[in-house]
Each structure stands twice: as C-alpha cells, then as structure tokens.
C-alpha cells in the first residue's frame, strides 16, 4: 500500500514566519548570479511597508485584508518584486485555497531567488496535490539539495511523486538512495514505497538487499515484514520468506491468506506438522473447506500422524461429501488393515467419480483382502477393459490362478 500523499505538516515548514524579522533580508545566498535575483537584497521600502501592514492585519485576524495588501504590493512591484513578498503571498493564497495562483507566486519566488529552499519545497507540495508530479519531483529534489541533502522526507516525497508519475526506475533509484543515506532512522512508509516499485522497476533483488539491512531496526514492524516477505515470495526465495511470515505470526498480525502461504511453504520445506498446524488453525475460521481439510490431512500423513489425519478427514466428509477426501479416508483405512471401512470409502469415491481408476483398483484390493474375490474381479476387470496393459492385471491374473487351483483341488 502506497503511503499517504504529502501533508501540510510535512512540507509546509515555517508557515508565515514573523515578517518583521525577515524584512532585513533573505538569508544566505549560495552563489552570485549574473541574472537579477533578490537573494542578497533587502526588500524595497514599499514592499517592506506592505509586508508590515499585512503582518498587522494577520495579528488582528484579518486574513482577507492581509491577502489584498500582498496582492497589491506584488502587482505594483512587477518585475522588481522580492522573493519574500512572493513567498508570503503564496502562503496567503494557499490559506485562501487558491492553489494554482499560489503555485504561480512560489514559482516567481524561485525565479527571484533560485536558492530559496522554502519556495521550492512548497512548489513540491502544491504540485503534488494538484497532480503535477513531474514538477513536484523536480521541486522537491531542488529543495533536498538546497537544504544540504539532510531532510529525508523531501527525498521520500520526491520518490513518491515519481511513483505517481509511473517513472518506476527513477522512483526505485530514489528509494534505494533514501534507504542507504538514512540508515539510522528508516521509516516503514519508505519500505512500502520501495516494495511497491520494486516489481515494475525490475529491481526486486536490489530492494530486498537494502531492506534486509534494516531488519534490526524495523523487524518489529508488521508492514516491514510483510513487504519483505512478499518480495521474497515473488523471487521464489521461500526459506527466507518463511522467516518473515513466521515473524508476522509471532507478532500476531498474520492474515488468513498469509497463514495459508506459510503452511504451503512449511510443506514444501519438509515441515509437514508445522504445515498441518497452519491449516488446522485456518479450518476453525470461515476459510474452512474441503481443500483445506485435504491439505491438513495430507500434511499429517506426511508427518506420520495417520490417526489425526483420519479424524480430520472423517470430520471433513461429514461436511463436504468430496471424492478426494473419501479417497484419503480409504487409503488410511486400508493401511490400517480396516478393509471393510476402506471398501466403504472407496465406494463413496466411485459414486462421485465412476471412472476413477485408483479408487476402482483400491476397491479391488480391499475386496480381495476380505476374500471377496469375485467382487474384486469385477472391479479389476473394469480397469483392465479401459486399459489392457494396466499393471493391475497381475492381481487379476493371480486371483484367477488361485480360483483355478482351488477348483481343481476341490
């Protein structure tokens, strides 16, 4: 799930700072420009007066008047405006919900002072909210550079803008840079974004490697474990995925679908009883089904727990009159030498699937084991009629030979 969009509290830093404190200048300039800029210049007397009047109007809770004063000052200044005036006019326009006009003035502020980071930052926020994702990403990247590449949230939202723009590779590179630069205090939302872009950017192995470095810091966060487990599953790295799914289980946040996957992986990794435990837990929920019952029983059988498997199956056939479940019941009964009960189970299978070869063969064996040789021959012959080369022919021939011998000696 992709993190929530940029919020004002994240990128709207400072708000309207105390205007009088800024009337003396704009702060440090990064480099001298040949083109006209106001980075190192003070506001003109007219602009200074207008900003002071706007500040007083705000203090007296007259925001509409403050906006009108700043608008008029900007219009009169024209090309000789100042980036501080345009910046604060932009803020007041945001408060008035005039986002497009606000963007225009923040852009103007960056032209008047290309190194004024707050204006770039607010362009990033507003461009994102108005779905101008390319402009948002560029502005946030500029703000990140101008603030000394120390503010992780700017890099994160730049990556998020590229994600919304569907620039998968650029987004992935930004995510990897973010996770590598700021290793001391990683955020779960960074992980979610990196995991979301990994597949379309074809960067799953790289993202997995970076996320793995953060297990010690984020391992107690379910969203982190889930994101990493999903990536590992897509890469078919099942033993590693199993570790993270088990962590989700220990954290008490594993979902039913994840528990099913955990059971399937345990089964693949020769851990049948752990698999059976997963399936058994699911069987007590709304996920209960004939297929789930079969999986639990087969896992118990693989873990050499035939009695438990039989109990699971016999509960199952009462709910789901399934040929597959009856076949497993018959198999367990036959292996326990309970041939009469095995016969009943195999007949249930054939009732559902009259042409089932395995059930017909096993019914023949169950009948033969009860000395019901003539009945056994009926079912064995049926199989041989369908396939004259079937291996069960040897049992049929043995029974015929035995009967022939008995008739000669009687």
For residue 36, the model assigns a pLDDT of 79
- pLDDT of 271 over the 70 cut: yes
Average pLDDT (141-152) is 97
- pLDDT of 3 over the 50 cut: no
For residue 410, the model assigns a pLDDT of 65
Q: Which residue has the tokens 């896992």?
A: 299
Do 24 and 147 meet the contact criterion of CB atoms below 8 Å apart? Answer: no
Q: What angle do CA 359, 363, 366 make, to 5 degrees?
A: 140
For residue 379, the model assigns a pLDDT of 95
For residue 323, the model assigns a pLDDT of 96
Which structural domains are found in the chain, ordered by start? Answer: 1-182+190-201 (1.25.40.10), 274-320 (no CATH), 322-402 (1.25.40.10)
User: What are 93-100's contacts with CB under 8 Å, separation 24+?
Assistant: 93/67, 94/12, 94/122, 94/126, 95/63, 95/67, 96/63, 96/64, 96/67, 99/126, 99/129, 99/130, 100/130
For residue 405, what pLDDT band results from cuts at 50, 70 and 90? Answer: confident
Q: Could you report the per-residue pLDDT of 362-373, keeping only the tens digit for each?
A: 999 999 999 999
Average pLDDT (386-394) is 92
For residue 402, the model assigns a pLDDT of 87
Q: Could you report the per-residue pLDDT of 10-28, keeping only the tens digit for each?
A: 443 333 322 223 333 444 3
- pLDDT of 205 over the 70 cut: yes
For residues 313 and 246, what is the distance between their CA atoms, to the nearest angstrom?
27
């Amino acid at each position: 799930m992709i993190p929530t969009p940029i919020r004002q509290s994240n990128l709207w830093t400072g708000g309207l700072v105390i205007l009088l404190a800024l009337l003396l200048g704009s702060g440090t300039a990064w480099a001298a420009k040949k083109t006209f800029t106001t980075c190192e210049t003070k506001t003109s007397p007219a602009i200074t007066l207008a900003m002071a009047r706007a500040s007083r109007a705000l203090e007296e809770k007259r925001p509409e008047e403050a906006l009108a004063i700043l608008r008029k000052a900007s219009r009169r200044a024209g090309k000789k405006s100042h980036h501080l005036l345009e910046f604060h006019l932009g803020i007041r326009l945001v408060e008035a919900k005039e986002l497009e006009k606000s963007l225009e003035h923040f852009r103007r502020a960056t032209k008047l002072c290309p190194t004024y980071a707050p204006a770039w930052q607010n362009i990033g926020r507003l461009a994102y909210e108005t779905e101008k994702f390319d402009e948002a990403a560029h502005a946030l990247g500029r703000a990140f550079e101008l603030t000394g590449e120390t503010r992780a949230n700017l890099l994160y939202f730049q990556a998020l803008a590229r994600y919304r723009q569907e620039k998968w590779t650029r987004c992935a590179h930004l995510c990897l840079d973010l996770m590598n630069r700021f290793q001391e205090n990683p955020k779960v939302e960074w992980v979610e974004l990196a995991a979301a872009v990994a597949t379309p950017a074809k960067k799953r192995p790289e993202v997995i490697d970076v996320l793995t470095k953060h297990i010690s810091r984020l391992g107690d966060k379910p969203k982190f474990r889930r994101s990493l487990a999903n990536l590992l599953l897509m890469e078919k790295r099942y033993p590693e995925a199993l570790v993270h799914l088990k962590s989700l289980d220990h954290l008490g946040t594993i979902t039913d679908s994840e528990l099913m996957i955990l059971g399937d992986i345990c089964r693949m990794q020769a851990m049948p009883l752990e698999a059976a435990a997963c399936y058994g837990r699911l069987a007590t929920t709304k996920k209960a089904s004939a297929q789930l019952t079969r999986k639990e029983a087969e896992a118990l059988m693989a873990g050499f727990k035939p009695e438990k498997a039989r109990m699971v199956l016999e509960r199952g056939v009462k709910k789901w009159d399934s040929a597959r479940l009856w076949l497993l019941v018959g198999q367990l009964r036959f292996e326990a030498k309970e041939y009469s009960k095995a016969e009943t189970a195999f007949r249930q299978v054939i009732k559902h699937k009259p042409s089932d070869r395995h059930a017909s063969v096993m019914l023949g064996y169950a009948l033969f084991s009860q000395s019901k040789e003539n009945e056994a021959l009926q079912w064995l012959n049926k199989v041989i009629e369908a396939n004259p080369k079937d291996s069960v022919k040897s049992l049929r021939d043995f029974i015929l030979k035995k009967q022939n011998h008995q008739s000669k000696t009687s």
